[in-house]
Chains A and B, each alone.
Chain A
Amino acid sequence: MQNDLSYENVTMRFEGRSGAVQALERFDFQVSSSEFLVIVGPSGCGKSTLLHLTAGLYKPPTGRILLGGSEIREPGPDKAIVFQNFSLFPWKTVHDNIEFGLRINGIPAAEREEQIKRVIRLIGLDGFENHYPRQLSGGMQQRVAIARSFVLKPRTLLMDEPFAALDAQNRQIMQEELVRIWQTQRPTVLFITHSVEEAVFLADRVIVMTRRPGRVKEVIDITQITGENHWRSDPFDEVIRRAEFQDVRSRIWGLVKSEISVRN
């Protein structure tokens, strides 16, 4: 598989009130095209930083991040990001939220409407086009946020704990929904979560990061366990009962746990 996203020696520091904080240190990694990559690690390990750097929201002081061979310099729709708190524009309807990215990227009106219609059907929100975000449930809002990014056909989709604000039931439904939506275009996905189960269910590979400064602790290739037919296409509550799922889940949890110091 060809490399889509590569991190070369990426370092990131923040000037905090109590001195500089090293968020990432010598982060080196390659992500293949259309790969579903999930990153787990203790709080504050720099995984969100990694995502924001990948989105181009700011530049790493040292190292480079390449997307399709060229360095990421600024944010753009080829690497759209979805946040935990949905981040929909509360003053825009579902339709207008989704239209925003298309419009500012110069897509003509007729094509916009077609795309919006398609993606709204994809996320199953037909009939909700003229609702404002506050009129939707958390799960519905997150569908719209995903659709808003997805409609731009991003090469890479960046998801920063997208389901963390949802309740357990909705989270499960959204995980399955995401798989279904993702499979229609199969962009590369970088997905951050605190839930090891979520990671094991969704990922092709899981990266476990060390605590700050964040580095790659271990990479677990889920596809080696599942083979050709990845278990994410099966129902979640059935998959989590499988022995091999349980095995890899507890292995990864052990890795994460060893990074969470008792004092945190």
Chain B
Amino acid sequence: MNGAGRNNSLARAMLGTISVGSVLIAWWLATSLELVKPLILPPPADVWVGFLDIWHGYLNVPFWNHFLASISVMLGGYAMAIAIGVPLGIFMAWNRAVDWVVGPLLQILRPIPPPAWIPLAILWFGIGYAGKIFIVFIAAAVPCILNSYLAIKQTPPELLSSARSLGAKPHTLLFEVAIPSGLPTIMTGLRIALGIAWASIVAAELVVSLAGFGFLIMNGYRNLESNIVFVGMAAVALLGLLMNLVFLRIERALLPWREDQDNG
């Protein structure tokens, strides 16, 4: 790296620190000077108290119950979405008859935003786990199906031609050419689905739940405890970030041939 590059990254780190730092200081000043009411923006100390509150069991529900409630439902719906969405998308792309039959149905369901399913899910499955799993499934299935479909449709034609010319039969073309070739696109779909699944479980919990981060946020709102809302949001963001990082790790491990760095 040359001198200018080093200066740039130094300036970048400095400006970044300054910007985040000044936001934190402004938060602290505005609340401690009582420029804004705690309800509008909870002071840092209140947030800490809120965090301890939740950690030690807010309203007598242990922290890990909230954690498990959100994560388990989300992972359940997400796993279902992958298990059904990916094969369906691949199948639709590979077989035009399936595409003709299922395609229009998906086209008509797709524009309905996932949160719009929440009331219907409650109507059908009640306020328990089943309804929330259903919502997460509906929300996450869309990118799983779409990206798997695109992944197969976008297989470079000359790869298929080459493989056929080397003697590949249809199932070899699908499993050894189209699917590996489309795997990056499929993985992108799964990553998008992960984010949507997480947002959906929070939305569902905001509407109706007895535990989970969405419940914490909504309960904080009802009791006018903005610090609880704050901590709930922070926890949701942090977990979302962590899941994304884990996913990127997995993605990189699964697709070694895509990595940018050369190993000799």
Q: Quick check: do A and B touch in the complex, using CB within 8 A? A: yes
- Given contacts A91-B181, A100-B176, A134-B257, A85 and B167 within 8 Å (CB-CB): no
- Docked CA distance A148–B166 (Å): 8
**Contact: A80 with B257, CB < 8 Å?**
no
Interface residues of A in 46-74 (CB under 8 A from B): 52, 55-57
Known A-B contacts A89-B177, A89-B180, A91-B183; the reply to A83 vs B257 at CB < 8 A is no
Query: Which residues of B sit under 8 angstroms from A80, Cβ to Cβ?
Result: 165-166
Considering the complex, give the chain B residue whose CB is closest to the CB of A132: B257
Measured CB to CB, the nearest residue on chain A to B162 is A87
Q: Shortest distance in angstroms between A81's beta carbon and chain B's nearest beta carbon?
A: 4
| CB-based contact B161/A104 at 8 Å | no
A104 and B180 contacting across the interface, CB-CB below 8 Å:
no
Interface string of A100-111 (1 = CB under 8 A from B): 110011000000
Do A81 and B255 contact each other (CB < 8 Å), given the known contacts A101-B167, A105-B167, A152-B167? no
Interface flag for B210 (CB, 8 Å): no
Residues on the A chain within 8 Å of B180, using CB: 89, 91-92
- CB within 8 A of A77: which of B158, B166, B263? B166
Q: Are A152 and B158 touching (Cβ within 8 A)?
A: no
B161 touches A77 (CB 8 A): no
Binary contact readout B153-193 vs A (1 if CB under 8 angstroms, 0 otherwise): 00010110111111111001000110011010000000000
CB distance from A263 to the nearest CB of B (A): 29
A79 within 8 A of B: yes
Q: Collect the chain A residues with CB atoms within 8 Å of residue B165's CB.
A: 55-57, 75-77, 79-81, 149, 158
Quick one: given A89-B180, A91-B180, are A83 and B161 in contact (CB under 8 Å)?
yes
* Residue B262, interface by CB 8 Å: yes
**What is the minimal beta-carbon distance from A6 to any residue of chain B, in angstroms?**
20
- A135 touches B (CB below 8 Å): yes
**Chain A residue with Cβ nearest B261:** A135
Judge whether B161 and A87 touch: CB under 8 Å. yes
CB distance from B115 to the nearest CB of A (A): 37
Q: State in angstroms the CA–CA spacing of A56 and B172 once bound together.
A: 17
- Closest residue of chain A to B184 (Cβ to Cβ) is A91
Give chain B residues whose Cβ lies under 8 Å from the Cβ of A89.
159, 177, 180-181
Q: How far is the CA of A87 from the CA of B183 in the complex (A)?
A: 17
Min Cβ gap A137→B in Å is 12
Report the Cα distance A24→B168, complex, angstroms.
Answer: 27
Residue numbers in B under 8 Å from A90 (CB-CB): 181, 257-258
Report the bound CA distance from A104 to B161 in whole Å. Answer: 15
- Tell me if A104 and B167 are in contact (CB < 8 A): yes
Q: Which residue of A lies closest to B166 (CB)?
A: A101
- By beta carbon, the residue of chain B nearest A57 is B161
- Please tell me if the beta carbons of A104 and B166 are within 8 angstroms of each other in the complex: yes
Complex contacts, B163 vs chain A, CB 8 Å: 100
Residues of B27-82 whose CB lies within 8 A of A: none
Query: Which of A94-133 touch B at CB < 8 Å?
Result: 100-101, 104-105, 132-133
- Set of chain B residues within 8 Å of A148, measured between Cβ atoms: 166
Complex interface: chain B residues within 8 A of A145 (CB): 162
A-chain residues with CB within 8 Å of residue B183 when the two chains form the complex: 91
**Min CB gap A165→B, angstroms:** 12
A75 to B161, CA, bound (A): 9
Q: A83-B162, A87-B162, A89-B181 given as contacts; is B257 within 8 A of A104 (CB)?
A: no
Closest to B183 in A: A91
Q: Report the minimal beta-carbon distance from A250 to chain B, rounded to whole angstroms.
A: 34
Residues of A within 8 A of B162 (CB): 81, 83, 87, 145
Can you list 20 contacts pairing A with B, beta carbon distance less than 8 Å? A55-B161, A56-B165, A57-B164, A57-B165, A75-B161, A75-B164, A75-B165, A77-B166, A80-B166, A85-B158, A87-B156, A87-B159, A87-B161, A91-B180, A91-B255, A104-B169, A104-B172, A105-B167, A134-B257, A148-B166
* In the A-B complex, the 5 residue pairs with the closest CB atoms: A101-B166, A75-B164, A87-B162, A81-B165, A77-B167
| Residues of B participating in the A interface, judged by any CB pair closer than 8 Å | 156, 158-159, 161-169, 172, 176-177, 180-181, 183, 255-258, 262-263
